[in-house]
Amino acid sequence: MFAVALQADSPPTYVLSDTDTAARLELVPDRGGLVTRWQVEGQDIFYFDRDRFANPELSVRGGIPVLFPICGNLPDNQYSLGEQTYRLKQHGFARDLPWQATGQDVTEAASLTLELTHSETTLPQYPFEFKLAFTFELRGHSLNLRQQFTNLSAQPMPFATGLHPYFLVKDKSQLVFDIPSSEFRNHLSGGVEAFGGSFDLSQDEIDLAFQGLTATTATVTDHHLRRRLTLSWSPDYTKLVFWTVKGKDYYCLEPWTAPRNALNTGENLLVIEPQQTLETVVQMAIAFL
């Protein structure tokens, strides 16, 4: 049975559930439309740092932060559009602003739609009128994120978007990756390197973007937790970022539509014509071994 409930927490939290599979999804609209928890068969799938979450001055570490209208950072946090220069901090503003719950359904899944629109906060940073509508669908062992990006401006709207999920891990040496790419750009060194199928997890930090993706699905098998993640994305996503920090119980596998600094370089930027809508989909599924 599917259900959607609003808990009177601080901040208010929506809970989506599928009782047939002990699946549960928690979302906090006021904090960037953030998914804070996903459970399948009672097991936590995401890492979440609640101490950082309790301090609004700190960036969230955990769940699924939303990246828009950029992924990654810009040089000096700046980009140029025409003759104007604008400032955007890393990953944009969508993950920090309050979203509004606008719809829910329990017919074929536990489903909740959240929306974010332009405002006096966004326009000085990003001079476009827009509406984002993200629908989160929980069913069985799967989580679907259906995303709509609408340009309400009178001129074409360039942007990049992505998701930054933090997956829980207890022993990174027990992870096996199947990534549809043979090379990545190392964000720490700036160089392009070949990918042999595994990572040197002795490093303090790994931060890289797979490119030249040959498929729209990747898997990560966790032999310690005895489960396999399958991550799928629509073709608009051209990069898959892997990030982890030594000593932390998470790894991030992030579908991005464009690389860092795309608002300046134009590389893989999405552009929506006035009064048009673009739809993208990301799916996460868990199988137990």
Q: Which domains are present in the chain?
A: 2-288 (2.70.98.10)
pTM: 0.97
Which tokens in the block code for residue 249? 């119980």
Query: For residue 9, what pLDDT is reported?
Result: 75
Tens digit of pLDDT for each residue in 233-244? 999 999 999 999
DSSP per residue, 92-148 = BSTTTSPPEEEEEE-SSSEEEEEEEE--TTTTTTS---EEEEEEEEEETTEEEEEEE
Q: Cα 67 vs. chain centroid, distance in angstroms?
A: 6
pLDDT of residue 126: 98
Quick one: pLDDT at residue 41? 96
Q: Using CA atoms, how far apart are residues 126 and 118, in angstroms rounded to an integer?
A: 9
Q: What counts of helices (H) and strands (E) characterise the chain?
A: 2, 25
How confident is the model over 92-138, as pLDDT tens digits? 999 999 999 999 999 999 999 999 999 999 999 999 999 999 999 99
User: Taking CA 7 as the corner, what is the angle to CA 165 and CA 251, rounded to the nearest 5 degrees?
Assistant: 15
pLDDT truncated to tens, each residue of the chain (289 aa)? Answer: 999 999 987 789 999 999 999 999 999 999 999 999 999 999 999 999 988 888 877 888 999 999 999 999 999 999 999 899 999 999 999 999 999 999 999 999 999 999 999 999 999 999 999 999 999 999 999 999 999 999 999 999 999 999 999 999 999 999 999 999 999 999 999 999 999 999 999 999 999 999 999 999 999 999 999 999 999 999 999 999 999 999 999 999 999 999 999 999 999 999 999 999 999 999 999 999 9
| Angle subtended at Cα 139 by Cα 172 and Cα 107, rounded to the nearest 5 degrees | 165
Pairing of strands 110-117, 250-256: unpaired
**Residue 33, number of CB atoms within 10 A of its CB:** 25
**31 and 100 Cβ atoms separated by less than 8 Å:** no
Residue 170: is it exposed, middle or buried by C-beta count within 10 angstroms (0-12/13-18/19+)?
Answer: exposed
pLDDT of the residue at 96 = 94
Name residues whose C-beta falls within 8 Å of residue 273's C-beta, 6 or more positions apart in sequence: 151, 156
